[in-house]
């Protein structure tokens, strides 16, 4: 397989970048994102061969076919971290809750959210690429989080040599467990800042810092390079492709049917992985985007209009999806259209808060995606209904059931996989509310639900409440760049 070239979604690039280049330096020209220039397409014979592979073997084979040029030993080291997940045979097991619906448990890692699926191996990969570069340069990795990316990144990179990490989270915009997962981590190379604002503002701040000439010049004078751990980094996306492939193959080898994948979506990185898997020929019929009250993605996929010009972010019971600017839509636009059109649309979003697809462009998007949304009451009802059936859900996964209800009507007898993106333990007060237990603190909710439903709480969650918080600073976004430099 030839080496994969990575190109910017908004053009303006003359040099061919490798996967390693894109991972270490994810800031593409004109504020764009790096993406693979060409994806392989697999026929049914190859797909049948892939269906017999273990999760680790599948990852190795797809990375090889993608031309990512990751040394076998480094990839093996990265994937070995999956051995510490709940299931020793796969980090992403399927659980049947209906004859045509499987839940894919993507929260079986150390921070109990799907971000571990990519960020556990990503930390090893990044460190390995840094060693291979044989540069004396240190790296500053920035990460903005709506609640799950932050803990997973910090856990992955804590105490890694030559790497410092700054995590930015919106004050009041995460669950208490998510916040404690960040503020209690004690490692010299880690710094966590709250900002007065929402996730969109945190993400915009991260992107602005990545391309800020003064900020980068000061870092360079300190012999520090800049990177990011959000899904703007394709290293994250590469690992997120795999579990969608795995799910589709598990169903395919039983009944030879294509699946519908349901993704509770915020920043669209998870859905992007499914999109790439479908493009490569894996048995995926359609990708369903499930949104909460911040339903800009649903509106976009249904109408072709992405308009946040008069929207304000609503806080919901599914906070990791409380996002209006979904970064990875840009990679979809680039893949379906071209760099010039993508740049035109993204500049319109930045300048006017909106853009519109043509009728033909919308039809092209809708060949791959459908979308729906629900409110908090629907979410609570689903959580209660399934708890009574013996299956405990988090609020984000609950949103996905709205899509399944629509699929049952439009595409009856079609197998579906719903991505369960977080464990209930990260949102226990919301589950307690759904179960009519009252308004409880995180700790009380965890204890009461665990006792009532006879389910264990992972040690890494419950011990958070006894740990000292070491990161307490909260600042306005305007001064955060200076605070980062002060810390360095």
Q: pLDDT tens, 20-47? A: 999 999 989 999 999 999 999 999 999 9
Same domain, yes or no: 379 and 313: yes
Same domain, yes or no: 331 and 366: yes
Same domain, yes or no: 223 and 312: no
Tokens of 118: 């990519």
Summarize the confidence of residues 152-170 as an average pLDDT.
95
Summarize the confidence of residues 450-467 as an average pLDDT.
94
Q: Given this model, what pLDDT does residue 424 score?
A: 97
Check whether 14 has a pLDDT greater than 80: no
Q: Given this model, what pLDDT does residue 222 score?
A: 94
Same domain, yes or no: 101 and 139: no
Same domain, yes or no: 292 and 257: yes
Same domain, yes or no: 293 and 333: yes
Check whether 74 has a pLDDT greater than 70: yes
207 pLDDT band (50/70/90 cuts)? confident
Report yes or no on 35 lying in a domain.
no
Same domain, yes or no: 102 and 139: no
Q: Total structural domains in the chain?
A: 2
Q: Given this model, what pLDDT does residue 1 score?
A: 63
pLDDT tens profile 460-473: 999 999 999 999 99
pTM of the model: 0.96
Name the percent of the chain lying above pLDDT 90. Answer: 90
Check whether 13 has a pLDDT greater than 80: no
Q: Given this model, what pLDDT does residue 230 score?
A: 87
Same domain, yes or no: 218 and 364: no
Report yes or no on 79 lying in a domain.
no
Report yes or no on 39 lying in a domain.
no
Same domain, yes or no: 414 and 476: no
Q: Given this model, what pLDDT does residue 40 score?
A: 96
Q: Which domain does 176 fall in, by range?
A: 112-230+461-488
Q: What is the mean pLDDT of the chain?
A: 95
Summarize the confidence of residues 302-328 as an average pLDDT.
94
Report yes or no on 272 lying in a domain.
yes
Same domain, yes or no: 177 and 214: yes
Same domain, yes or no: 403 and 470: no
CATH classification of the domain holding 439: 3.40.50.1100
Summarize the confidence of residues 411-421 as an average pLDDT.
96
Same domain, yes or no: 367 and 224: no
Summarize the confidence of residues 475-484 as an average pLDDT.
91
């Amino acid at each position: 397989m030839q080496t994969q070239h990575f190109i910017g979604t908004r053009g303006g690039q003359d040099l061919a970048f490798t996967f390693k280049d894109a991972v270490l330096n994810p800031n593409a020209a004109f504020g764009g994102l790096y993406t693979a220039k060409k994806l392989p397409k697999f026929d049914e014979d190859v797909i049948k061969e892939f269906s017999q592979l273990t999760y680790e073997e599948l990852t190795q084979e797809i990375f090889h076919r993608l031309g990512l040029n990751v040394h076998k030993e480094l990839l093996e080291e990265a994937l070995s971290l999956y051995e510490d997940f709940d299931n020793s045979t796969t980090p992403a097991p399927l659980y049947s809750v209906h004859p045509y619906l499987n839940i894919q448990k993507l929260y079986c890692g150390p921070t109990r959210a799907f971000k571990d699926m990519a960020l556990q191996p990503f930390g090893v990969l990044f460190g390995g690429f840094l060693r291979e570069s044989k540069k004396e340069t240190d790296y500053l990795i920035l990460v903005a989080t709506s609640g799950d990316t932050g803990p997973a990144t910090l856990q992955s990179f804590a105490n890694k040599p030559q790497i410092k990490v700054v995590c930015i989270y919106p004050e009041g915009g995460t669950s208490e467990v998510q916040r404690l997962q960040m503020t209690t981590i004690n490692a010299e190379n880690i710094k966590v800042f709250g900002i007065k604002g929402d996730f969109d503002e945190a993400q915009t701040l991260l992107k602005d810092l990545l391309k800020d000439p003064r900020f980068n010049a000061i870092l360079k004078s300190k012999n520090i390079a800049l990177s990011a751990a959000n899904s703007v980094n394709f290293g994250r996306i590469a690992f997120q492709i795999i579990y969608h492939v795995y799910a589709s193959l598990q169903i395919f080898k039983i009944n030879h049917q294509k699946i519908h994948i349901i993704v509770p979506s915020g920043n669209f990185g998870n859905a992007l992985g499914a999109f790439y898997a479908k493009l490569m020929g894996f048995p995926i019929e359609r990708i369903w985007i499930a949104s909460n009250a911040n339903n800009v993605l649903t509106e976009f996929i249904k109408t072709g209009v992405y308009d946040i010009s008069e929207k304000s972010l609503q806080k919901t019971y599914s906070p990791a999806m409380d996002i209006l600017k979904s970064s990875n839509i840009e990679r979809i636009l680039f893949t379906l259209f071209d760099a010039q059109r993508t740049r035109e649309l993204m500049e319109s979003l930045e300048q006017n808060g909106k853009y519109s697809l043509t009728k033909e462009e919308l039809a092209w998007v809708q060949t791959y995606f459908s979308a729906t949304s629900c409110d908090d009451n629907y979410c609570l009802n689903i959580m209660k209904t399934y708890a009574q059936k013996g299956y405990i859900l988090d609020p984000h996964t609950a949103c996905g059931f709205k899509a399944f209800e629509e699929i049952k009507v439009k595409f009856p007898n079609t197998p579906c996989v719903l991505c369960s993106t977080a464990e209930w333990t990260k949102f226990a007060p919301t589950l307690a509310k759904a179960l009519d237990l009252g308004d409880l603190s995180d700790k009380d909710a965890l204890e009461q639900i665990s006792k009532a439903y006879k389910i264990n709480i992972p040690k890494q969650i419950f011990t958070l409440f006894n740990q000292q918080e070491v990161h307490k600073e909260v600042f306005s976004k305007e001064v955060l760049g200076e605070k980062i430099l002060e810390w360095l």
